[in-house]
Amino acid sequence: MERPNVILIILDTLRKDGLSCYNNKVRTPFFESFCSEAQFYRNAIAPSPWTVPSSVSFFTGKYASDHGVHEELKGNVYPNVYEKLKNYSGELLAERLKKKGYNTLGITSNDWIGPGTGFDRGFNAYMYNAGPVDTLINKIEKELRPEIRKYGSSFYEIAMNAIKGKINGFSFLKDYLYYRKMNKNLENMGYPENKDGGNIVNILKNISLEQPFLLFLNFMEAHEPYRTLYRKRKKYANVGLLITALYLEGKLNSDLISDTLKDYYNESFLLDNFVSEIIQYIKEEGVFENTLFIVTSDHGQALFEKGFFGHGIFLYDEIIEVPLIIKYPKNYRPIKDDEKKYFNIKDLFGLIDEITDGENPEDMQKDISFSESFGSNVQVSALSVLNERLKTKLEELVAPRKAVYKKGYKLVVNGISGDVEEFKKGKINKDPKDEKEIFNEMLDELYFFKGKEKFKLPQRL
């Protein structure tokens, strides 16, 4: 069979219920229509709860514990993960397809997997989506904000410095007004709803798609910040653990939480429009039928479920259960959704590899699926506004975790305490003592999955 093109679209941070084919309360009209002609999978699982380990998984076909590019419980996550990604010696998806003669192109809005990180290996062209919004954000964060901070760390300190003659009050006022103006310009450009996703579509329409091609696109619209919290950013800093702490202290009211949920689902609507434009363009180019089209997410997002906001630490359903929609190329047999099995996003590597070899793919859905985190990708110690009691409580939450899905059950274990954090069937919590057989089976699966990793498991019952 003719080798098909591959388009892999990652809607970063989009959880499963962000699309109307999974949730009829959400308005995403394009996806509602597209899911009727494509195949969507109800039990798609992200192998990790944040971008880097999850992305490397679907570019290698391996869990994070196997490829090793993940955070650690101790140490600064940023240089450690970047170093691991740059030094990863295994073959990535783009390298594999390039060897097969594919033209490999990538555009990412997430700098965690941007050019120069190592994730760009194997791409003929790989670019960071530096659209007008991102360009202005960089100017504000890297140029203007430091200029303001040199006058003092708070308005009180700035005022005292002016009174004492340590700074020029006129210079501060001039810089501050310009800083405010640039922030207002940013909001007038539609930020934070608009995170330059439209720029990706425009770039795509102006590049050559020499066949066969691999096209990798990463959109950040569903990622925080969101409108309501952004407008209150002086009070609620844009850090997941900090917002969680404020929630635990009872400082986030129900209206704020409700508005944040609305903001999140509004981002889904924007993404719906962007993907619709891409599909329409591919159809106009006459290559739609012979293209493997995959839409998924690297992870989801907790929106105050169980008191948590964000991702990267816990393995809640909202964070690791993601959308997966696949439009198979003509003449290829689609894998039918099996509600009794699980499609781990890491297995997209195998699916793409087989189809680009001109073969009908094996069923990538499995009876068992895993997801794992390795500690924090946020430094709790950096949250200086917290009192020590809350810092201690949050430090306890930061731990390695592993989840296993089997026979409709889900088990999550904290690797430091050995505590069972979740054991349920579907959405119903279960007592392990009442379900000893399946509980022990799942513990055994975790035992073999963790291998030699230092990870505490509870006793079998």
Residue 359: per-residue pLDDT = 93
Same domain, 145 and 126: no
The total number of structural domains that make up the chain: 2
Is residue 419 a part of any domain in this protein? no
Same domain, 164 and 211: no
Domain that holds residue 94: 5-131+196-367
pLDDT band for 421, please (50, 70, 90 cuts).
very high
pLDDT band for 422, please (50, 70, 90 cuts).
very high
> Alpha-carbon distance 218 to 55, whole Å?
10
- Predicted confidence (pLDDT) per residue in 159-207, tens digit: 676 677 776 766 767 776 776 777 777 777 788 888 889 999 999 998 8
Residue 432: per-residue pLDDT = 97
Contacts of 167-170 spanning 24+ positions with Cβ under 8 A: none
Q: Residue 231: is its pLDDT beyond 90? A: no
- pTM (2 d.p.): 0.89
Q: What is the mean predicted confidence (pLDDT) over 269-283?
A: 96
pLDDT band for 306, please (50, 70, 90 cuts).
confident
Same domain, 307 and 362: yes
Same domain, 116 and 179: no
Domain-ending residue, one of 367, 402, 421: 367
Is residue 267 a part of any domain in this protein? yes
Nearest residue to 366 via CA among 319, 315, 336, 406? 406
Same domain, 81 and 174: no
Same domain, 68 and 118: yes
pLDDT band for 391, please (50, 70, 90 cuts).
low
Residue 2: per-residue pLDDT = 76
State the average pLDDT for the chain: 87
Q: Pick the residue with more confidence: 44 or 144?
A: 44
